[in-house]
Each structure stands twice: as structure tokens, then as C-alpha cells.
Chain A
Amino acid sequence: MSNFIFGRYLPGNSWIHKMSPQSKLLLCFFFVFIVFFANNYATYGLLVVAILGIILLSGVSIGYFIKGIRPLIWLIIFTVLLQILFSSGGNVLWSWGPFSISDTSLINGGFIFVRFILIIMISTVLTLTTTPLAIADGVQTILRPLKVVHFPVDTLALMLSIALRFVPTLMDELESIMNAQRSRGVDFGSGSITSRVKSAVPLLVPLFSGAITHAENLSTAMEARGFSDSEHRSKYRIYRWQLQDTVSWVAELIIFGIIVYLRN
């Protein structure tokens, strides 16, 4: 698990670290949206320059981003190969049976590759520079308008933050259950598919019953501390809109404008 970069947080004090999570989240979605507008060399080139700039601003070394791509590289290669081998049109350079490679399919494959990299990188920037707690808070702020239709935004945010808080606790528990079951002779991760699935049962059942016990005790503790409902509460942690947010939005809107102008 330790070499899995995607979804990890690196503490820092860069330009991007200082931005408020709600605006970072929205900017990240917006960037992904913009990526789908790009369709030629100029637009993709601009986006690559933009993402390099963003990485520089995040103050995180590029090595982390390359590590973030590594677990997804086979998916990317598979998709790009499908695109190259099965698309039609353009000057055919090579063909064999149902497969063919043309100049346009090569270019499209290259674009799809860049698109993947751009999307992975921008989301890695988001997760590397924002704590899970801040992301949960950002989601709450963004969803606030849904209160109009009686969507339980505060309850969802509370659930999200409790879920995030229990991830490491449950991971530790899973590990001790695994070791306990191993010490009693359960063999994980070998044998046929059916035997592997069967060996998951002595893991899942104690994990689930443990989670239910946690939930029961936690709700008692929350009640004892005066929790009655998630709506009538004040808030300790508030992320305010920063100067960095305004500047980033202006910059991203300008990039969007240029791309709409440059695209075919």
C-alpha cells in the first residue's frame, strides 16, 4: 500500500496548498472538462504547459506524479492500443485482418494518451495537496445548494469525515485479523479462485462485526457528547476563499477561452 501515491496527502505550504478545498475541487473538475475540449496539437500543447505549471506551483516533485501514473499504466496502454488498432479513416499505413494502423489513428492514440496523463496528474495534484478532511469539507461546501431540495448535506459530510477517519483504523484491524487467521492456518492469496474467495470469509465476517461494534460505541460516545443532529451545529474548521483561488480561476478561465478559440 505504501507505494500507492494516488489518494495520498503530502503536507506543504505551496501556492496550491493554500487554496481552499472547495475551489480546488471545482477547478479540478473544470480542468478535466477542459481536457475534453482539446482536439489538436495547439490545444493539447497548451494543456501540457498548464499542467507543468500547476505541478511547479504545487511544490511537489515530479517523481510523485510519475509514481501516481504507474499503477494505471496498463489501463492506459490497453485503451491507447485499442484506439490505434481499431479506428478507421486516414491513410492506412499497415493492416492485418481486422487490425489496421493509420496516421490519424496514431495521432488519436497519442491524444488519448496525453488526455489520460493530464486527468491523472490534475487529480493527483488535488489529492497530494489537500487533506482528506479538507476534501470532505470542500464537498460539503459545494453541495450546500442542494439543501434547497432537502438533501441532507451536513449528514453526508459527517458520514464522509467519519468514514475517512476510520479508514486507517479499519486497515489496522484488517491486518490484525489477517495475521490472526494466518496464525490459525488460513492461507490467503493462493490456490484457485474459489478457494481464494472462501479464504476471504474469515476476514470479512470479523471485519464487519467489528465495524458494527465501532458504530455502536461511536454513536453512544457522540450522543454522550451532546450530538443531537448534524444540522444545528457550529463549525470549527472553515476554509475561506483565498487570493490564490481567485487568481487560479481567472487563469483557468483564460486557458479555457484560448482552447475554445484554438480548437478545430
Chain B
Amino acid sequence: MENIIEINNLSFKYPEQDSLFSSLDLSIAANQWIAIVGQNGSGKSTLARLIDRLLVPDSGDIHVAGVALNDENLLTVRGKIGMVFQNPDDQFVGATVEDDVAFGLENRQIDREDMKTIVENSLRAVGMWDYRDRIPASLSGGQKQRVAIAGILAIKPQILILDESTSMLDPQGRREIIQLVKEIKSRENLTIISITHDIEEAALADRIVLINKGIVVTDESPEQLLNRTDFLNNFELETPFTTQLVTELRHLGINVPNKYMNDEELISWIKKSLFQM
């Protein structure tokens, strides 16, 4: 698998603050779902902004889909990356749903007739076509994030960065957005980088990168990471519900295999062991 994002020797600091990253290396393979987790102030969001060159690194280089990230090919690279931010209200540029989806296309000077088809297809893909005339104030948080995703689908990126996109949503909206991301990932062959506090969301990833104080602490699969309760607690991360349940079961003297299981796996394990008894 080729690496769609290569970060070499990256360093960055905000003015009048301590250095955030010094010589960070990270590579992300194409079509992977990677979750970046870490405490507040660990540099997760900054990393996303550096990848999209919304922030300029002090040194080091970033390659996105083989293209070196610099001021000349800034727009080329941004065309490959779609970002959904945290606050659904703050990224809604258009006055209506339709206009917002068209915003990215207008920036690329797409012809109006093509724009109409693309806007319709993108809105249908996220199930918001019926809401095309609505103004943002009349939409729920989850619906606004759907529109944001539609706006990104319209420009056909290779990489989708979710910068804590579900953190301001209710559990229902959060589930819907995660479901939608899952669907479009397989349909559009996207690479997904999700920056999140939500460990259940991270559990869906192929790979979890734990960042602390600008350093990659661990970089492993959810199966490996998510049953290490004490380790996760050290970084103020919660453990998923299944891991908590497994811990409780162990306390009760039940011998549960020492590996991470998601909901279905745990349910089938419990069923199986009940039949054995």
C-alpha cells in the first residue's frame, strides 16, 4: 500500500508558546481509517491543520498523495483533502444548504450546469436533498455536519479529515455521522483521519495513533490498544464500554480472553461461554 500522507521531521510551534512538535514522523497508508487521539493540547488539531497547510510548519516536510506541500501547490493539495471541523455553525458558509455545498465548487470555478448535478448528487449521498432550501439556523447539529460532508464530497477528495466533528453532537447525531462516514469511505475509497476524544469512534479505525505533547506515544490497532485500560487512563482517555465490561467480568472471576472485542464480538463470546457452561 502506498502512503498517501508522509510527514517527515515536522516541527511547529505557536508564537509565544513552547514548541508543540519537534521532529514528528508519521505516515498514513491510502484507504486506511486512522484515528488520532490524545488529551487536550496534545497537538491533534494542529496536526490536521498542518496537513492542510492552514498552518505552516517551522521545518520538516509533508507529502500528500505524492505532492510536496508548499505554497505553490497549496490549492492542489487542498483539493485532495476535505476537512470537517468541530463546530457545525462555524463552517457553514452558504446562506442555504445548496449554496453551502456549492461553495467549494465555486472556488474551483466549476461550470454552473455541472455544479447543479454535483450539488444534487452530493446532497442525495448524505440524505439532505430534501433540505436544500433550508437555512442553517433551521437545521440540527447533525444535519449541519451532513451538509459539511456533502460539501466535501462535491470536491471529490482522496482524504477526509474529521477534526472532532462529532464532539458537539448528541449521541444520535454522532451515530448518524459515523455511519455516514463508514458508508462513504467504502463507496468513495477515502482515507479517513479522525481526530477524536470519542473512544468508540476511534475503535472503528484501522489504526489508532495516540499523541501526547507533540509525540506519537503509540501507533497500533484498536485490538491492541483498547484493552490496555491503565495505559489509556494515563492519558485521560476512556476505555470503550466493552473493555470496561470485560474488566468488571474479570473482577468477578470470569476468565475473559485478553484481547479487545467490540460489541458483537463480546456478545458472541458471552453466548458461546454460556453454552459451554
| Complex CA distance for A164 and B82, rounded to whole angstroms | 26
Q: How far is the CB of B110 from chain A (nearest CB, A)?
A: 6
Given known A-B contacts A161-B95, A214-B89, A221-B93, A234 and B155 have beta carbons under 8 A apart: no
Kindly identify, within residues 155 to 206 of chain B, every residue whose CB is under 8 Å from any CB belonging to chain A.
155
B107 touches A233 (CB 8 A): yes
With an 8 A cutoff between CB atoms, is A150 at the interface?
A: no
B 102-134 binary contact with A (CB < 8 Å = 1; else 0): 111111111110011001000000000000000
Given known A-B contacts A220-B54, A235-B112, A236-B115, A225 and B49 have beta carbons under 8 A apart: no
A positions within 8 Å CB-CB of B: 131-133, 136, 161-162, 164-165, 168-169, 172, 213-214, 217-218, 220-228, 232-238
With an 8 A cutoff between CB atoms, is B213 at the interface?
A: no
A-B contact pairs, 14 of them (CB 8 A): A133-B96, A161-B94, A161-B95, A169-B89, A217-B91, A221-B85, A221-B90, A223-B54, A224-B52, A224-B54, A225-B103, A226-B79, A234-B108, A237-B99
Excluding A225-B152, A232-B109, 13 further A-B contacts by CB distance (< 8 Å) are A161-B95, A161-B99, A169-B137, A214-B89, A217-B91, A220-B49, A221-B85, A222-B93, A225-B103, A225-B151, A226-B78, A226-B107, A233-B106
Interface of B is mostly: helix
| Chain A residue at smallest Cβ distance from B94 | A165
| Complex CA distance for A59 and B97, rounded to whole angstroms | 27
B 56-84 binary contact with A (CB < 8 Å = 1; else 0): 00000000000000000001001101110
B positions within 8 Å CB-CB of A: 49, 52, 54, 75, 78-79, 81-83, 85, 87, 89-96, 98-99, 102-112, 115-116, 119, 135-137, 151-152, 155
Of B93, B107, B119, B137, which is within 8 A of A168 by CB? Answer: B137
Q: Which 5 A-B pairs have the closest CB atoms?
A: A217-B90, A168-B137, A221-B91, A236-B102, A226-B107
Q: How far is the CB of A247 from chain B (nearest CB, A)?
A: 26
| Complex CA distance for A225 and B52, rounded to whole angstroms | 10
Residues in A whose Cβ lies below 8 Å from that of B119: 236
B78 touches A224 (CB 8 A): yes
Q: How far is the CB of B33 from chain A (nearest CB, A)?
A: 20
Q: How far is the CB of A176 from chain B (nearest CB, A)?
A: 12
Interface of A is mostly: helix
| Complex CA distance for A164 and B135, rounded to whole angstroms | 10
B135 touches A165 (CB 8 A): yes
B91 touches A218 (CB 8 A): yes
B104 touches A226 (CB 8 A): yes
| Complex CA distance for A227 and B91, rounded to whole angstroms | 13
Residues in B whose Cβ lies below 8 Å from that of A221: 83, 85, 90-91, 93
